[in-house]
A and B are shown apart, each in its own frame.
Chain A
Amino acid sequence: MEQKPSQVSREQGLRWLKDMSRIRRMEEKCAELYGQEKIRGFLHLYIGEEAVAAGAMSELGEDDAVVATYREHGHALMRGISMNAIMAEMYGKLEGCSHGRGGSMHLFDAATRFYGGNAIVSGGLPLSIGLALADKMQNRKRVTACFFGEGAVAEGEFHESLNLAALWQLPVLFVCENNLYAMGTALARSESVTDIHLKAESYGIFSAAVDGMDVISVNTAVCDAVKRIRKKSAPAFLEMRTYRFRAHSMFDPELYRNKEEVEQWKQLCPVATLTARLRAQQVIGEEDIAAIENAVAEEIQTAIDFAEAGHWEPVEDLMKDIYTNRG
């Protein structure tokens, strides 16, 4: 794993702290709203894994593309989709980033090249290959970042896609968010080799394991990987070792893991550890933390108001957006 750099600038520290807090607090609110039946369907929270999206996304440029899974609220937010549009989408309102048609699992945004929001495990990997291929064929120097869970590694599409990426030397950044569980299946119960980055290596892809609970490590690794991809026009693979503190989805009674394990991982909370470090280094003070909390609370309230005030798409529009030219 990467070494942690010792000193973080105040500016950078504040930014990461705020970014991770935005994801954390937004999702805590989502869980509440789910209880109130404002948000329906499947809701997969990212809580515990914030360091990955926060540390990774800032290394991507405007032209780059992002492909994500159903656990993508954090990615969407970090990519620059407004919390308003995300929240409205969770509500299913017309003002949502997918105009309400997708919901929590299908956040999309053309403006930021955010391609989902895919609820088929491993389904996004081939897509990322194609996006990168299109860039390569059109001589564009872009990167496609593809986020997926370790559960995807067992699917054939994972292997087919890694092979193609390496074979055709495509500028894809594979980010495996290894949170150790695919729903209730622990990694060791689904993979014969649990060091996932080794699988990528076997395809001849540059690959590393990263402490996914530490935003600085994530950021450093992604920064290197992206530079490498741009320079060599070849894929790179990062296995982010992380953990979700919450259940798989709102329907999950979590019978497969014990509370002690969860508590142990919570000690590594990316928000708390960064806060502690910035404090210890005397880079930030209490008032900074309070300012962040206030700003985030305000942003969330605004987003909820926005979603509440949003509109239900008229039923007459039911058949819209099935085909491009027919309504």
Chain B
Amino acid sequence: MKTTYREAIRAALREALQQDKRVFLMGEDVGRYGGCYAVSQGLLQEFGEERIRDTPLSESAFVGAGIGAALGGMRPIVEVMTVNFSLLCLDQIVNTAATLRHMSGGQFSVPIVLRMTTGAGRQLAAQHSHSLECWYAHVPGLRVIAPATLEDMRGMLRLALDDPDPVIIFEHNALYNREGDLAEDNNVTDIRRAAVRRQGKDISLICYGGNLHKTLEAAEQLVLNGIDAEVIDLRSLRPLDEETVLASVRKTRRAVMIDESWRSGSLAAEIGMRVAEQAFYDLDAPLARVCTAEVPIPYPGHLEQAALPQVETIVSKAQEAMAQNV
């Protein structure tokens, strides 16, 4: 079935709202406006304002209210427009949602689902373009996921709602308009395991979210150079599916991490270190990564593109790694 990422998420939201009365969607402009990325368009008309709940501009209060509602037996899906604005409710997410279970000695779970967009590429300048998902992936008590395919967009929400703990879903804003074929069966999705999106024997390209498509494209170009790349889509940023990553690297003996956050303290850094810790002697080349330049994302298109991971940079990093033999 031909569809867009946006429609896939909307279908997932609709299904969740239909299946479970406890589910409701809350956030800025999710109702009358239809969602700032038009994801929730039409849902207000279908489900009413109790369940498609417009909130004032008060990230901390409505995210905190989502946490309270989850404690009170509801299954809130709370949309924060972008990860950039989620810094206004960081306290509620990190200090409350992530800690309540632990601090209460296991008495309270917080089954909230937080959705936020992330990523750059639309010339929205620095305050609308950051990729801060690794900040959340740093926090024990949270589950952090990043759907990159239509199937994952459709399927991960349900799995997130079934999870008794707080789950943050990062939707890369460049994906919403993307079209593709959505498989009929919904069994291909998973929020625990990384996915091997392309089998290959020469090098592992490890990525997630909005960069999956660039990475797959890079892999196709590498074929022309006689390089057979394996592409790993992490899907879950916390916890990380180390096993799939390590198995791939042990097979290909080379790895490049592709990550849209800044390289200092990035997930790419974390994955690289885990590979170094556990598969160092399996490596035939130094680990490499393609991250965003360490600059607040600039407004001009050419500078923005220069800051971000690109197909060409992925290709050349992979070629460099292939040229080395340690």
The size of the chain B interface, using a CB distance under 8 A, is 41
**Are B92 and A123 in contact (CB-based, < 8 A)?**
yes
**Are B65 and A129 in contact (CB-based, < 8 A)?**
yes
**Are A125 and B72 in contact (CB-based, < 8 A)?**
no
Give the residues from 47 to 100 in chain B that come closer than 8 angstroms, CB to CB, to chain A: 50, 55-56, 58, 60-74, 76, 91-92, 95-96, 100
**Are B55 and A129 in contact (CB-based, < 8 A)?**
no
B164 CB to nearest A CB, Å: 4
**Are B65 and A130 in contact (CB-based, < 8 A)?**
yes
* Interface mask (B279-296 → A, CB under 8 Å = 1, otherwise 0): 000000000000000000
Q: Which residues of B contact A156 (CB under 8 A)?
A: 58, 60
* Interface mask (A74-111 → B, CB under 8 Å = 1, otherwise 0): 00000000000000000000001111111000101110
B104 in complex: contacting residue of A108, A138, A163, CB < 8 Å: A108
B64 in complex: contacting residue of A97, A106, A117, A130, CB < 8 Å: A130
**Are B65 and A323 in contact (CB-based, < 8 A)?**
no
Report if A110-B104 is in contact (Cβ < 8 Å); known contacts: A160-B58, A164-B56.
yes
**Are B105 and A126 in contact (CB-based, < 8 A)?**
no
Q: Which residues of A contact B63 (CB under 8 A)?
A: 126
Give the residues from 232 to 290 in chain B that come closer than 8 angstroms, CB to CB, to chain A: none
Q: Is A135 an interface residue (CB 8 A)?
A: yes
Q: Is B165 an interface residue (CB 8 A)?
A: yes
B89 CB to nearest A CB, Å: 8
**Are A127 and B104 in contact (CB-based, < 8 A)?**
no
Q: Is A58 an interface residue (CB 8 A)?
A: no
Q: Is A37 an interface residue (CB 8 A)?
A: no
Q: Is A179 an interface residue (CB 8 A)?
A: no
A323 in complex: contacting residue of B58, B61, B103, B143, CB < 8 Å: B143
B84 CB to nearest A CB, Å: 17
Residue of B nearest to A158 (CB): B61
A93 CB to nearest B CB, Å: 11
Report if A126-B165 is in contact (Cβ < 8 Å); known contacts: A116-B103, A164-B56, A321-B101.
no
Q: Is A272 an interface residue (CB 8 A)?
A: no
**Are A101 and B105 in contact (CB-based, < 8 A)?**
yes
Q: Is B225 an interface residue (CB 8 A)?
A: no
Q: Is B108 an interface residue (CB 8 A)?
A: yes
Q: How far is the CA of A102 from the CA of B105 in the complex (A)?
A: 7
Q: Is B24 an interface residue (CB 8 A)?
A: yes
B96 in complex: contacting residue of A120, A132, A133, A161, CB < 8 Å: A120
Q: Which residues of A contact B163 (CB under 8 A)?
A: 324
Give the residues from 133 to 156 in chain B that come closer than 8 angstroms, CB to CB, to chain A: 140-141, 143
Q: How far is the CA of A123 from the CA of B97 in the complex (A)?
A: 11
Most buried by B among A97, A109, A130, A144: A130
**Are B61 and A163 in contact (CB-based, < 8 A)?**
yes
**Are A98 and B62 in contact (CB-based, < 8 A)?**
no
Q: How far is the CA of A102 from the CA of B269 in the complex (A)?
A: 32
**Are B61 and A126 in contact (CB-based, < 8 A)?**
yes
A131 in complex: contacting residue of B50, B69, B95, CB < 8 Å: B69
Q: Is A233 an interface residue (CB 8 A)?
A: no
Report if A102-B103 is in contact (Cβ < 8 Å); known contacts: A157-B60, A325-B164.
yes
**Are B71 and A134 in contact (CB-based, < 8 A)?**
yes
**Are A321 and B105 in contact (CB-based, < 8 A)?**
yes
Q: How far is the CA of A206 from the CA of B79 in the complex (A)?
A: 31
Residue of A nearest to B26 (CB): A133
Residue of B nearest to A106 (CB): B103
Q: How far is the CA of A322 from the CA of B102 in the complex (A)?
A: 5
Residue of A nearest to B105 (CB): A99
Q: List 9 A-B contacts (CB under 8 A).
A: A98-B104, A127-B65, A130-B66, A130-B67, A130-B71, A138-B74, A321-B101, A322-B101, A323-B141
Q: Which are the 7 A-B pairs with shortest beta-carbon distances?
A: A130-B68, A126-B64, A134-B72, A99-B105, A160-B61, A160-B58, A108-B104
